[in-house]
């Protein structure tokens, strides 16, 4: 069983400062992220899983507490993982679970909504359709023949998951009133909900949902900056499709996921220089 854990959709968190070091509340955010992950891992083992691989899918991948994670799982952690949010996933897994996920950029009342990067990217498109991280990761799992069994996060993320995957099991741990404000389920109860939701989902494989995207795959990224778009267009195979838009087409979806990571590295370097740019 594969569990990908992001942070913006974790129970109890609403503030960008809680998402990154050394922000106020970040260390506590890491504990809450690990507790949400553990709820899903414990449910997976209680449902009969032999192996559970958990990947830290947020930022630089240094958020899940290795000293607090369920000792039975395998933890994939650290920066610059080739498959980023999907590192560790392959065709041998029966099902993928997404915990702590959030809605795509621009989603009304989506808590901490964004796609891949919060400031540098306006929108991402997959084969011409707007795509958030749920669609992007579910599509990668789909190319491997791995269905999605559960998505846990804020209410907008759960709505997006059903839009992408149909009647997939979801657990909403908060409901956004704005991008940085939400009605929260207290974490202790939210983690019980994740556990129970995961147990029910794993007991009902008929509700697991695959995401099928036809090849070839075209990834379009609408950047906030002409400088980022121009720099990413230097990557072989990437073309500039507008002043702030890049596109890349391939028959191997793993290249889509890998390219997102490379572009994010470039975008982060340019966006964080402190310079003013268009």
Q: What are the φ/ψ torsions at residue 181 (nearest 5 degrees)?
A: -145, 145
Sign of CA dihedral 166, 11, 56, 245: positive
CB 38, CB 69: distance < 8 Å = yes
Residues forming a β-bridge with 277: none
Which one of the listed residues 58, 102, 114, 122 is annotated catalytic? 114
Largest CA distance in the chain: 53
CB 123, CB 130: distance < 8 Å = yes
> How many whole angstroms separate alpha carbon 136 and alpha carbon 76?
19
Token pair of 235, please? 């990557």
Give CA separation, 65 vs 10, 27, 219, in Å. Answer: 14, 9, 33
> How many whole angstroms separate alpha carbon 114 and alpha carbon 8?
9
Give CA separation, 86 vs 37, 71, 197, 223, 243, in Å. Answer: 15, 21, 22, 23, 30
Q: What are the φ/ψ torsions at residue 233 (nearest 5 degrees)?
A: -70, -10
58 catalytic, yes or no?
no
Give a three-class secondary structure readout of 36-100.
Answer: HHHHHHHHHHHCCCCCCEEEECCCCCCCCCCCCCCCCCEEECCCCCCCHHHCCCCCCCCCEEEEE
Residues identified as active-site: 114
């Amino acid at each position: 069983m594969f569990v990908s854990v992001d942070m913006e959709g974790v129970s109890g968190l609403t503030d960008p400062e809680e998402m990154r070091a050394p922000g106020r509340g970040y260390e506590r955010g890491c504990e809450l992220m690990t507790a949400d992950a553990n709820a899903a891992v414990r449910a997976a083992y209680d449902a009969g899983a032999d192996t559970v691989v958990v990947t830290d899918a947020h930022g630089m991948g240094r958020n899940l507490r290795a000293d607090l994670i369920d000792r039975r799982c395998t933890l994939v952690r650290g920066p610059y993982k080739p498959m980023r949010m999907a590192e560790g996933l392959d065709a041998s897994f029966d099902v993928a679970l997404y915990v702590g996920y959030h809605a795509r950029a621009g989603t009304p009342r989506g808590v901490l909504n964004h796609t891949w990067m919060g400031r540098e990217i306006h929108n991402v498109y997959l084969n011409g359709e707007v795509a958030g991280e749920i669609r992007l990761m579910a599509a990668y799992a789909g190319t491997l023949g791995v269905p999605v069994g559960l998505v846990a996060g804020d209410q907008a993320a759960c709505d997006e998951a059903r839009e992408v995957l149909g009647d997939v099991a979801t657990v909403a741990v908060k409901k956004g009133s704005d991008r940085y404000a939400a009605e929260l389920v207290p974490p202790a109860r939210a983690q019980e909900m994740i556990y129970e939701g995961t147990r029910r989902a794993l007991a009902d494989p008929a509700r697991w949902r695959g995401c099928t995207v036809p090849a070839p795959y075209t990834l379009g990224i609408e950047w906030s900056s002409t400088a980022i778009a121009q720099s990413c267009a230097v990557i072989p195979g990437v073309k500039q499709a507008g002043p702030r838009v890049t596109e890349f087409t391939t028959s191997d979806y793993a290249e889509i996921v890998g390219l997102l990571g490379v572009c994010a590295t470039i975008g982060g370097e340019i966006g964080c220089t402190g310079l003013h740019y268009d």
